[in-house]
A and B are shown apart, each in its own frame.
Chain A
Amino acid sequence: MSDQSTNSIAFVASGDIPQSPPPALEAGAVKWMRENLFSSIPNSILTLVALALIYKIGMNTIPWIANGVWNTKSLAECRDVLDGTVAGCFSVLTERWNQLLYGFKYPSDQYWRPNLALVLMLFAAAPVLFFDLPRKLLTFTAVYPFLAFWLIWGGPVITPIVALLGCAAAAWVFNKYGKANFALGFFGGIVAALIVWKITGFAIPESTDGTWLQAVASRDLGGFMLNLMLGVTCVSLSVPLGIALALGRQSSMPLIKGICVVFIEFIRGVPLITLLFVASVMLSYFFPPDATVDLFLRVVIMITMFSAAYIAEVIRGGLAALPKGQYEAADSLGLDYAQAMRLIILPQALKISIPGIVNVAVGLFKDTTLVSVISMFDLVGMIRGPILAATEWNGVYWELLGFAAVLFFIVCYGISQYSQWLERRLATDHR
């Protein structure tokens, strides 16, 4: 049998066939393109359309940016330099740089103050944004608002110190009594702050002359600085307010719940512009006749209320996502409402809602451009107002709007990337 089989087989391989490379169509870039770009006829058409689109956009914008002019004094001069070539007059950015960033009224020799405040803000925000940093850094975060107020508005140094003393007294009272009885600590803290402000208030001088830092009025703030200030202030103020509203909406007391529901649904039902109209034309009717609440503060109040309503809804989602067992466990440990919320419920609920809060923050930061509608000169207000109205730069839309878009994109994209990092970082379950 074996003989027969050896005879009948014409060929037996005596060694290994050398490995040959895969077919050219099944390897490397060609395979990738076949699978990802030209896998079927509709797909190939889509790819070609997309390529044509990219080519068209690229051919229009790249030379426009690359040939741009950066150092002329006016649009006419820039057009002379360009001499018919189609390119951007980016010199409007260099020439009006300070106006775009700080507005047109902030004293130009004082620009270091907002710059310093911005740098310090990064340090103050770091321990809040990154949990791994030492907790002691939070002390600086607590002091920062007062420092930033003094740096940006200037005036007597005693004003922020008085404010800080009052808040410190409130914090001390709350730490002493708040652990045992939340309501006592909370209201005691408010009373303590009021008392300290009343006692030390006389130290604030009437005039703002001869102070270390020249006083700057709120109406002189402008440019991208105004957007940043509104965004940061309103988000940080609206988080605690939002927590309170969310807890109120979950409350079993019908009156408290009713107030919170009406507030949240009202604010969410109207556009921000109408709230800004309230700030600019209506709110001053509701203050005592002798009170002078400037537009900046009124806008901060309305935007804070606006974002607090949205943050409250996000946190309500976080509260609803917690398993009921957590609430029952807190009850069975004998914790009262404030303790249960502070120690068990809120830490978990806030963790769930952080990405949502960051989304609200990004939206709010974008919405700060709306203040240009009520004639405040933020970045968009500066572009639409003083810069495009100036005879030198009448008609440079693309460069200015593109700059504003890029600036907002960098900040908002950065924040949303942070939010995604945080989401991955906080995902401690379901590995």
Chain B
Amino acid sequence: MTIMTDPPNSGFRLSQLFSDTRYRSMTFQVIAFIALLLMFAYLGNNLINNLRAAGLNISYSFLGERAGYDLNQSLVPYDSESTHARAAIAGLLNTLLVAILSCVSATILGVTAGVLRLSNNWLVSKLMAVYVEIFRNIPVLIWLIIISTIVASSMPLPRAFRGEDATASMIFDAVAFTNRGVYIPKPLLEHGIFASASANWLLVLVVLGVSLFASTRVGRWANAQQEATGDRPQTLWINLGIFVVPFAVLMLIMGLTWDYPYLKGFNFTGGTQIGRPLIALWFALSIYTGAFIAENVRAGIQAVSKGQSEAAAALGLRQGRVMKLVILPQALRIIVPPLISQFLNITKNSSLAIAVGYADITATLGGITLNQTGRAIECVLLLMLFYLTASLMISGAMNLYNASIKLKER
């Protein structure tokens, strides 16, 4: 006996939108899209109503107005007559400056601490463990304030350099450590090729870049020679020449002189001042992030299996070369991705500058400019845009590097 069943209903029922896997995901996405639109409409409506009630509007014209405040540190010419936009750019450059300085020093510190923590010297490895634990478990803001206080209280006042019985003295009459910051000589180009100083320095940078490019070409040539003949040509002197000769010639042509800081009244003038906030922020960020990097480095080195170092030792490599040629290249693949996120963290944590009075972009655009103009939404949006761009660029650049050292699998 055959059982007759109805063929499946070919008509479309509304419930199929939820029960049929062919349509369900579309239904959910449409619902989500409508919900998103409704949410944005609600928030936007509230925003418009609130702005109208407060008599405000969204406008970026304040950026062209006079800022009227001074900055203690600026890489571009800036004074209180400059515009808010210029203050923001000065802050932006300050953020980049402290971020780059801290990334470099935190990496050096972190790699050193991470390698030392694996040292077979019991005391040193325990000391490094204590360093890592102490710095990882206390907020960076507290470290920042502590280090700022240390810098302020341990360095002499500028007036300690005065008089016959001065309690402090300048190093080589050129560098002065004071509690307002470190004063170092400032390089000046007497007769530059271009009219503006920044164009001249840009030329110096370009020359250095060309030298760097040439030296990588020399390195490649040396590698090729080594591959072909087995002997590696000496490249040290060639490289030194490539870097030193064009630079020296350029400096001679442009007439390099140094502007030394000197004591005038109760403070130093001349030279370049590396302000106390910058020093405090730089130290705090590098020493705090260094602890995290140390942990990443340790984990990376430990992840390389012991057989690798034993195999290298069996080939007759010395201890240093085992580390340089066998362990580190493999550990690097594990270390680099967390290192990228630590660099991102440094960039983001540099926004704490506001707590020690360093004029980074958060302190200028998000602090004084915001308070003076009352343009909260515009300022915060610009601030977020900057950090977002910086984060994406750092992670993009480092991902490129990561891809270049990745295991090439076929």
Binding site for B on A (CB under 8 A): 35-37, 39, 43, 46-47, 50-51, 53-54, 183, 252-256, 259, 266, 268-274, 277-278, 281-282, 284-289, 362, 366-367, 369-370, 372-373, 380, 384, 397-398, 401, 404-405, 408-409, 412-413, 416
Contacts and interface: CB of A to CB of B under 8 A. Distances in A.
Contacts of B376: 277, 281-282, 285
Contacts of A373: 352, 354-355
A256 B29 contact: yes
B134 A409 contact: yes
Interface stretch (B77-85, B193-201, B254-262, B384-392): B384-392
B28 A408 contact: no
Given A36-B122, A37-B123, A397-B149, A285 B139 contact: no
Given A367-B139, A408-B139, A282 B127 contact: no
Given A253-B25, A268-B391, A54 B127 contact: yes
A416 B137 contact: yes
B133 to A, nearest CB: 7
Given A47-B123, A50-B123, A380-B139, 17 more contacts: A36-B123, A37-B121, A39-B121, A43-B121, A253-B29, A256-B28, A271-B351, A281-B380, A286-B46, A286-B50, A289-B53, A369-B141, A398-B149, A409-B134, A409-B137, A409-B138, A416-B136
B251 interface: no
A282 B366 CA distance: 12
B349 interface: yes
B49 interface: yes
B142 interface: yes
Across the A-B interface, the 9 shortest Cβ-Cβ residue pairs: A271-B348, A412-B137, A36-B122, A281-B376, A366-B139, A269-B391, A255-B29, A271-B351, A269-B388
Contacts of A259: 32, 36
B140 interface: yes
Contacts of A278: 380
A269 B387 contact: yes
13 contacts: A46-B119, A50-B123, A273-B351, A285-B46, A288-B49, A366-B138, A370-B141, A398-B149, A401-B146, A401-B149, A408-B139, A408-B142, A412-B136
Interface in B84-125: 116, 119-124
Contacts of A408: 137-139, 142
A345 B149 CA distance: 50
Contacts of B119: 43, 46
A288 B377 CA distance: 17
B362 interface: yes
B51 A285 contact: yes
Nearest to A409: B137
Nearest to B361: A274
Given A369-B139, A405-B138, A405-B146, A286 B47 contact: yes
Contacts of B18: 183
A324 B79 CA distance: 61
Contacts of B36: 259
A278 B123 CA distance: 47
A315 to B, nearest CB: 16
A372 B133 CA distance: 24
A413 B133 CA distance: 8
Contact of B352 (A284, A370, A397): A370
A254 B28 CA distance: 11
A21 B256 CA distance: 72
A47 B391 contact: no
Interface in B51-84: 51, 53
Contacts of A397: 145-146, 149, 153
Contacts of B51: 285
A27 B50 CA distance: 80
Contacts of B383: 270, 274, 277
Interface in B326-355: 348-349, 351-352, 354-355
Contacts of B388: 266, 269-270
A412 B133 CA distance: 10
Given A54-B127, A259-B32, A274 B145 contact: no
A47 B352 contact: no
Interface in B1-46: 18, 25, 28-29, 32-33, 36, 43, 46
A352 B120 CA distance: 32
Main secondary structure of the interface of B (DSSP, over half): helix
Contacts of A372: 141, 355
Contacts of A53: 127
Contacts of B354: 273, 373
Contacts of B352: 273, 370, 373
Given A259-B36, A373-B354, A271 B387 contact: yes
B370 interface: yes
A310 B389 CA distance: 19
A398 B348 CA distance: 27
Interface in B369-410: 370, 376-377, 380, 383-384, 387-388, 391-392
A287 B348 contact: no
Nearest to A414: B137
A398 B376 CA distance: 36
Contacts of B120: 35-36, 39, 43
A332 B254 CA distance: 77
Given A53-B127, A259-B36, A409-B138, A271 B349 contact: yes
B261 to A, nearest CB: 28
Most buried by A among B51, B123, B370: B123
A216 B350 CA distance: 35
A285 B371 CA distance: 16
A274 B123 contact: no
B142 A50 contact: no
Given A380-B145, A397-B149, A401-B149, A270 B50 contact: no
A362 B139 CA distance: 10
A350 B315 CA distance: 44
A46 B121 CA distance: 8
A285 B142 contact: no
Nearest to B122: A36
Contacts of B380: 274, 277-278, 281-282
A252 B28 CA distance: 12
Contact of B142 (A255, A277, A405, A413): A405
Contacts of A51: 123
Most buried by B among A253, A272, A274, A366: A274
Contacts of B139: 366-367, 369, 380, 408
B231 to A, nearest CB: 31
B79 to A, nearest CB: 26
Contact of A253 (B28, B391, B392): B28
A273 B29 CA distance: 33
B141 A255 contact: no
Nearest to A248: B32
A269 B387 CA distance: 6
Contacts of A255: 29, 32-33
Contacts of B25: 252-253
Contact of A269 (B47, B53, B121, B392): B392
A397 B376 CA distance: 33
B121 A369 contact: no
B146 A256 contact: no
Nearest to B33: A255
B237 to A, nearest CB: 29
Contacts of B50: 284-287, 289
Contact of A47 (B121, B138, B153, B370): B121
A406 to B, nearest CB: 9
